[in-house]
A and B are shown apart, each in its own frame.
Chain A
Amino acid sequence: MSRVIPATGSETLHGQDTTEGDVSRRPDDASAPAPGPAVLLIPTPALAPPEPRTRRGRRRALGLVVPVALVALWALAGAAGFISPRLLPPPAAVAEAGWDFVAGESTATLPGVVPFDGAAARHVSASVARWLSGFALGVGVGVPLGLALGLSRRAGELLDPLVQALRSIPITAWLPITLVWFGLSEGAARYLVFIGALFPIVIATADSAARVPRALVDTALMLGTSRSALARRVYVPAALPGIVTGLRLGLTLGWMSVIVAELTGQTSGVGAMMFAAREIGRLDHIIVGMATFAVIGLAGDVVLRAVSRRFVAWSEG
């Protein structure tokens, strides 16, 4: 059974750590999955070995150089009148909007109107709730399904082509049918996030379960482990590093699906705020929304990595 698997194994990263200062070859970047159908991912930090503090500090500082320079250029170009504020408001205006979003005074709004000032908590919590519930459903369905695909030759033969086909459908292409099934509803939003998170989880789980060495299973049996306990005692722990890689991809893709999910008539959510801002022409609000997506998405990955680290430490040498 051949599967397209994101090449995210941390083992490929070890020993690459000598390219100090070469931002384009940071070992951190190597965890980005190989480009695949419908997969567009921000490079995320890998399960990389720790590096010395000072070097890491310098690396991080270097990573800020280009963004800071771009913002400065952006501000200068705006001040010099090269960029119309209607196309790109200056950084100061965006920063101010960001402040209003987080700490501004919230005003009473009519039903159906999406607020902005002081509404960061409301929108972020709505988006995160969609994200996490869709992701949780993706884990609940994806891990068992992936185990079945990986462990049962028959299940693999039956379902692998279907999974490969479905995973090639971009999340936006799921939107119309989802709207027909669920209407403009919270359910539709969560379903879309679920679909977005599901496939990387299924595929990584199936692949890593199928790769569990036969000798490990034989040893467990020869130690008296019952066949019914094999999945729990051997396959899941042995496949866990691969499953965690799938969870990280699923979490990231789930978050990317949130913006599509909020095309389902929501009045709260970061994406909902951005679509409302587009209608009233508030580009500064839209950019604040984009920045919010970046920050929350990264934070989610950092948290998942921290939580999973102790479970997969053994596979990191």
Chain B
Amino acid sequence: MTAAAGAHAIPDVLAVRDLKKSYGDVHVLDGIDLDVAPDEVLAVLGPSGCGKSTLLRLLAGLEPVDAGEIRIGDEEVGGPSPDRPMVAQGATLFPWLSLRGNLEWGPRATGHADPAAAADELLEATALTGFADVRPGQLSGGMRQRAAIAQVLANRPPVLLLDEPFGALDAQTRLRMHEWLRGLLAERPTTVVLVTHDVDEALLLGDRLALLSARPSHVVERIDVPFGAERARSTLSDPGFVALKARVLDLVLSA
């Protein structure tokens, strides 16, 4: 691993205790408890509008919590940090920079890695080497989404927060992105919180699932995903997968 010392000095463990958040009268999060083990992928499912995006924004430090606690290792989350970046659906690459410029941004700002080397490595990992000098506006949706994830990974964050990262993509591209992300995480073990609407996505990428209730939301169910690292497209038709998916769908719909 080429990560600079700073990025991994904090033990990769995320703990959320009794987290609460309201917007005015809208009571969104009502005591969320979560634990994510190092290098584990936690998939968060829940009905629309229950506060999944809110939860991730709090984890990312983009908004203050009302009550409760978010810890990463022994550090309490304050503001936004390159140690736990969030990538959301609308990829937010800097449109005036080339792809390379975007990938180099993080290491330049933090000094966590050599910018040019990090960018080269990620261009290869995203299969975008030929597009290094292209601006984001000229990339396809799938390419942009890969690039946005690569952009924040350039700092080698111990924790990665993904909010429906592939939600805007077509089904085929999404399947390809799942395989790509699994490969990427195998190479760069990272603790991930993945918010998704897509039960297939949750079961293909997650090591565990957390199910949120409707607003005001709390965690109603935690499920271990029994499939190992060898998950692939074919897993989708595995009888165990199908049964688990049916159970999870029931839970989501009744949440």
A-side residues, CB < 8 A to B, are 213, 215-216, 218-226, 229, 234, 237-238, 240, 314-315, 317
Judge whether A224 and B135 touch: CB under 8 Å.
no
Bound together, the chains give a CA A215 to CA B112 distance in angstroms of: 23
Question: Which residues of the other chain, A, contact B151 by a CB distance below 8 angstroms?
Answer: 219, 223
Bound together, the chains give a CA A213 to CA B80 distance in angstroms of: 17
Residue from the list B80, B96, B137 in contact with A221, Cβ < 8 A: B80
* Per-position binary interface string of chain B over residues 90-133, scored 1 when its CB falls under 8 Å from any chain A CB and 0 otherwise: 10101110000000011001101000000000000000000000
Q: How many A-B residue pairs have CB under 8 A?
A: 66
What residue of chain A has the Cβ atom nearest to residue B88's Cβ? A215
B82 at the interface (CB under 8 A from A): yes
Judge whether A216 and B92 touch: CB under 8 Å.
yes
Judge whether B95 and A315 touch: CB under 8 Å.
yes
Question: Which residues of the other chain, A, contact B95 by a CB distance below 8 angstroms?
Answer: 238, 314-315
CB of B154 to closest CB in A, whole Å:
8
| A-B CB proximity, top 9 nearest | A224-B110, A224-B82, A224-B109, A222-B85, A221-B80, A223-B106, A215-B92, A314-B96, A219-B92
What residue of chain B has the Cβ atom nearest to residue A237's Cβ? B96
Classify the interface of chain B: helix, strand, loop or mixed: loop
Question: Given A314-B135, A314-B137, is A222 in contact with B94 using a C-beta cutoff of 8 Å?
Answer: no
B-side residues, CB < 8 A to A, are 60, 62, 79-82, 84-86, 88, 90, 92, 94-96, 105-106, 109-110, 112, 135, 137, 151-152, 154-155
Question: Which residues of the other chain, B, contact A216 by a CB distance below 8 angstroms?
Answer: 92, 94
Bound together, the chains give a CA A229 to CA B108 distance in angstroms of: 12
Judge whether B94 and A224 touch: CB under 8 Å.
no
Residue from the list A213, A223, A314, A315 in contact with B105, Cβ < 8 A: A223
Judge whether A238 and B92 touch: CB under 8 Å.
no
Question: Which residues of the other chain, B, contact A213 by a CB distance below 8 angstroms?
Answer: 92
Residue from the list B80, B105, B112, B135 in contact with A218, Cβ < 8 A: B80
Question: Given A223-B85, A224-B110, is A218 in contact with B62 using a C-beta cutoff of 8 Å?
Answer: yes
Judge whether B60 and A222 touch: CB under 8 Å.
yes
CB of A212 to closest CB in B, whole Å:
11
Question: Which residues of the other chain, A, contact B94 by a CB distance below 8 angstroms?
Answer: 216, 219-220, 234, 237-238
Judge whether B152 and A222 touch: CB under 8 Å.
yes
14 contacts between A and B (CB under 8 A): A213-B92, A215-B88, A219-B85, A221-B62, A221-B80, A222-B62, A222-B81, A222-B82, A222-B85, A223-B82, A223-B106, A223-B151, A229-B109, A238-B94
What residue of chain A has the Cβ atom nearest to residue B98's Cβ? A314
Bound together, the chains give a CA A237 to CA B102 distance in angstroms of: 13
What residue of chain B has the Cβ atom nearest to residue A215's Cβ? B92
Judge whether B86 and A222 touch: CB under 8 Å.
yes
Bound together, the chains give a CA A317 to CA B80 distance in angstroms of: 31
CB of A58 to closest CB in B, whole Å:
30
Question: Which residues of the other chain, B, contact A224 by a CB distance below 8 angstroms?
Answer: 81-82, 106, 109-110, 112, 155
Residue from the list B81, B82, B137 in contact with A317, Cβ < 8 A: B137
Question: Which residues of the other chain, A, contact B106 by a CB distance below 8 angstroms?
Answer: 223-224
Bound together, the chains give a CA A221 to CA B106 distance in angstroms of: 9
Question: Given A215-B90, A216-B92, A315-B95, is A221 in contact with B79 using a C-beta cutoff of 8 Å?
Answer: yes
